Chain A
Amino acid sequence: MSRNGEANLVPREQPTTYYGRPVVKPPVWKPEIPLYFFSGGLAGASAVLAAAATFAGRRRLARRAWAGALAGVTTSPALLVKDLGRPSRFLNMLRVFKVTSPMNLGAWLLLANGGATTFAAALNARDGERRGGAPEIVAAALGAPLATYTAVLISNSAIPAWSEARRHLPFVFAASSGASAAGAALLSVEPSEAAPARALGVSAVLAEEVATMLMRRRLGELASVYEEGEAGRYGKASRVLSIAGAALLGAGRPSAAPRRDLAAVGGALLLAGSICKRWSVFKAGFQSAEDPLQTVRPQRRQIAREGGGA
């Protein structure tokens, strides 16, 4: 050890790492988790779309959207249980109500939205002339947070590419959810009632583009993980699929009835784009965790900003 002390040592140009090994742990989540981000988003945004369609008297659109919401809320717990390994493990989350844990709040939210959606969907199935009421409002009010809370869940972590995106990821997820809900409804809805879903699909894809761009700008050098490797490939795929879908849907006057097959293809593209988006964000978290400099550099800058440090 130097008797003269560290002050003599040449200053390092960039942070040193421990044999290049990561500081934080990558997620242990299996592919069920990003699929759940998708299915939860589909459920939440579909509930909003379905409630709006019910109130607007668009019966056929409402039926498709309630079906999409139901598909989402039934798939979601199954995916979570699959990731946990045993059904009873899901119940462990329901022994507490814990505001500091987005995952705990999300479990309650999923149950509450599932109940409200099932109830509202059942009422709509029974009464073909139903014009909406409190159950629809509750399902929609719980659907919007269901579509966005998963962004809070992952940004409430030590993974830099997620944590530093905490102000933008919820918008990305909300837009992607909106696109998926529109896409699911457009798979089979009659052209005469498709207009609101088309408008939602096109505007959600635009919103997703803008939110993603702003997120990358905010992330600065951390954004590289969203552009590289698997995250980058799926991010590009999401973009191509979503924009192609929106272009198909946007062709022609907004109020004109589209060709049913074109709308269905457009809707399928939006769904595929939404899945790819979640996969891209998911993989970006792994890539970010694996690079120790992604962890160290922003913290070094924080120390420099605060003028003190460890």
Chain B
Amino acid sequence: MSERVGFFTDTSVCIGCKACEVACKEWNQVPADPQGFSGASYDNSGELGADRWRHVAFIEQKLPVGVEGGAPDSWVQEAARQNLVEQGVEPEADEDGFRWLMSSDVCKHCSEAGCLDACPTGSIFRTEFGTVVVQEDICNGCGYCVVACPFGVLDQRPEDGRVWKCTLCYDRLKDDMEPACAQACPTDSIQFGELSDLRERAAERIEVLHQRGHSEARLYGESEDDGVGGFGAFFLLLDEPEVYRLPPDPTVPTRRAGAAWAAAGAAGAALLAGVAASFLAGRS
């Protein structure tokens, strides 16, 4: 068993070049998927799925600035803005207030993976690197992992009915190479490494950003206290997770299965009792 490895995707330096999407497709020979013009900024590739294991999200924001709130502004700035608002001007964050969020999404390789737990064939397994991989010769295309993933990562390939997702370049890891997307990333937004190192690096990075006044920067999925026991591939985000189409507080379904099984047991007992009672009631 090697040290657990993963990704730290620092979206604050993502430039939306999509080199990761391309490198992933090239290396893993992921088939082309139909694309069109989506109208959703530069995101014309849609979402993670069977034929897309890295996906770059583009969010265009032009956010008005409020005059209330615990701003680190001086009172003079505050008053000046208040003045603008009273004149009917909608002030924006500095300059024109436009910001462009870009983020390369990927399978989270959860510590407690819903897909792995749900898989009825044992096709999805945890590798010696701590990553989560689908064995294609065993996958029977049941599609259970598709609904068990809190992030909507996995999907079925219609041509063969089986499910495909990021392997964190399992083949490359075995040869001591970093995954294709991380190698291709020109800004080191995608960082590959041992998870413990990545968490340290992320903590340092978030501190730097906070010192520079970017209080909106936050880590997503780095904590082992979350509902999936922490991500193997976590993120630094500049807004709420749902802005990037990420669930704000994901929970692995398995943690809730106990309640469902208990209810099923009680319901089954009720069915037995109900049938027995019907015979008592039906006795003439």
- Cβ 8 A contact of A173, one of B49, B119, B120, B267: B267
Contact: B94 with A25, CB < 8 Å?
no
Q: Bound state CA distance, A3 and B73, in angstroms?
A: 10
B54 interface hit (Cβ, 8 Å): no
Q: Does B143 contact A (CB under 8 A)?
A: yes
Contact B283 A255 (CB under 8 A): yes
A100 nearest in chain B by CB position: B117
Interface size class of B (residues with CB under 8 A): 35 or more
Q: How far is the CA of A9 from the CA of B240 in the complex (A)?
A: 13
Question: Looking at the complex, which one of A9, A23, A85, A95 makes contact with B242 (CB distance below 8 Å)?
Answer: A23
A84/B268 contact (C-beta < 8 A), A163-B253, A170-B260, A299-B247 known: no
Query: Which among A122-130, A141-149, A226-234, A270-278 touches the partner chain?
Result: A141-149
Residues of chain A contacted by B144 (CB below 8 angstroms): 101, 103, 153
Inter-subunit contact B215/A5 (CB<8 Å): yes
B120 touches A93 (CB 8 A): yes
Bound-state Cα–Cα, A9 to B61, Å = 11
Tell me whether B161 and A4 are in contact (CB under 8 A): no
Task: Give chain B interface residues in 220-273, CB to chain A under 8 Å.
Answer: 220-221, 226, 238-251, 253-254, 256-257, 259-261, 263-272
Kindly list chain A residues whose C-beta atoms are within 8 Å of the C-beta of B19: none
Chain A residues whose CB sits within 8 angstroms of the CB of B148 once the complex forms: 156-158
A223 within 8 Å of B by Cβ? no
Q: Give the residue of A148, A168, A199, A296 whose beta carbon is less than 8 angstroms from that of B281.
A: A199
A 142-191 contacts with B by CB, 8 A: 144-145, 147-149, 151-159, 162-163, 166-171, 173-175, 177-178, 182
A5, A29, A204: the one contacting B143 at CB < 8 Å is: A29
Evaluate contact between B143 and A4: CB separation under 8 angstroms: no
Count A interface residues, CB 8 Å: 101
The answer to whether the Cβ of A195 comes within 8 Å of any Cβ in the partner chain is yes
Expressed in whole angstroms, the Cα–Cα distance for A153 and B120 within the complex equals 11
The answer to whether A24 has its CB under 8 Å from any CB of chain B is yes
Asked if A135 is an interface residue, CB under 8 A from chain B, the answer is no
Residues from 73 to 100 in A contacting B, C-beta threshold 8 Å: 83-85, 89-90, 92-93, 95-96, 98, 100
User: Quick check: which of B149-157, B174-182, B186-194 contacts chain A, the rest being far away?
Assistant: B149-157
**How far in angstroms is the closest Cβ of chain A from B239?**
8
Chain B, Cβ-Cβ closest to A102: B257
Nearest CB of A to B30, in Å:
17
Closest to A50 in B: B275
Residues of the A chain whose Cβ atoms lie less than 8 Å from the Cβ of B245 = 17-18, 21, 23, 292
Chain A 247-281 against B: per-residue CB contact (8 Å), 1 yes, 0 no? 00000001100000000000000000000000000
Q: Is A15 an interface residue (CB 8 A)?
A: yes
B169 within 8 A of A: no
CA distance A9 to B192 in the complex (A): 33
Whether the Cβ atoms of B63 and A28 lie closer than 8 Å is: no
Kindly state the separation between the CA atoms of A120 and B139 in the bound complex, as whole angstroms: 34
Question: Which B residue's beta carbon lies closest to that of A91?
Answer: B140
* A1 contact set on B, CB distance < 8 A: 93-94, 99, 214, 238
A156 x B259 contact (CB < 8 A): no
Q: Quick check: A140 and B218 within 8 Å, CB to CB? A: no
Known: A25-B154, A152-B261. A174 touches B253 (CB 8 A): no
- Interface check B16, CB cutoff 8 A: no
B173 part of interface (Cβ distance < 8 Å): no
Q: Which residue of A lies closest to B118 (CB)?
A: A101
B69 at the interface (CB under 8 A from A): yes
Q: Tell which of B114, B218, B248 has the most Cβ of chain A within 10 Å.
A: B248
B281 and A10: CB pair below 8 A? no
Please name all residues of chain B whose beta carbon is closer than 8 Å to the beta carbon of A7 when the two chains form the complex. Answer: 69-72, 215
CB atoms of B257 and A10 under 8 A apart: no
Is A144 touching B268 in the complex (CB atoms < 8 A)? yes
Q: Is B196 an interface residue (CB 8 A)?
A: no
Residues 5-47 of A at the B interface (beta carbon under 8 Å): 5-11, 15-19, 21-29, 44-45
- Tell yes or no: B278 within 8 A of A by CB: yes
Q: Which residue of A lies closest to B272 (CB)?
A: A144
Which residues of B lie under 8 Å from residue A140 when comparing CB positions? 272
- CB of B213 within 8 A of chain A? yes
Q: State in angstroms the CA–CA spacing of A58 and B282 once bound together.
A: 11
Instruction: Determine whether the beta carbon of B278 is less than 8 Å from that of A199.
Output: yes
4 extra A-B contacts, CB within 8 A, seeds A145-B264, A207-B274: A101-B119, A148-B268, A195-B284, A255-B284
Measured CB to CB, the residues of A under 8 A from B are 1-11, 15-19, 21-29, 44-45, 48-49, 52-53, 56, 58, 83-85, 89-90, 92-93, 95-96, 98, 100-104, 106-107, 140, 144-145, 147-149, 151-159, 162-163, 166-171, 173-175, 177-178, 182, 195-200, 203-204, 207, 254-255, 285, 289, 292, 295-296, 299-300, 302-303, 309-310
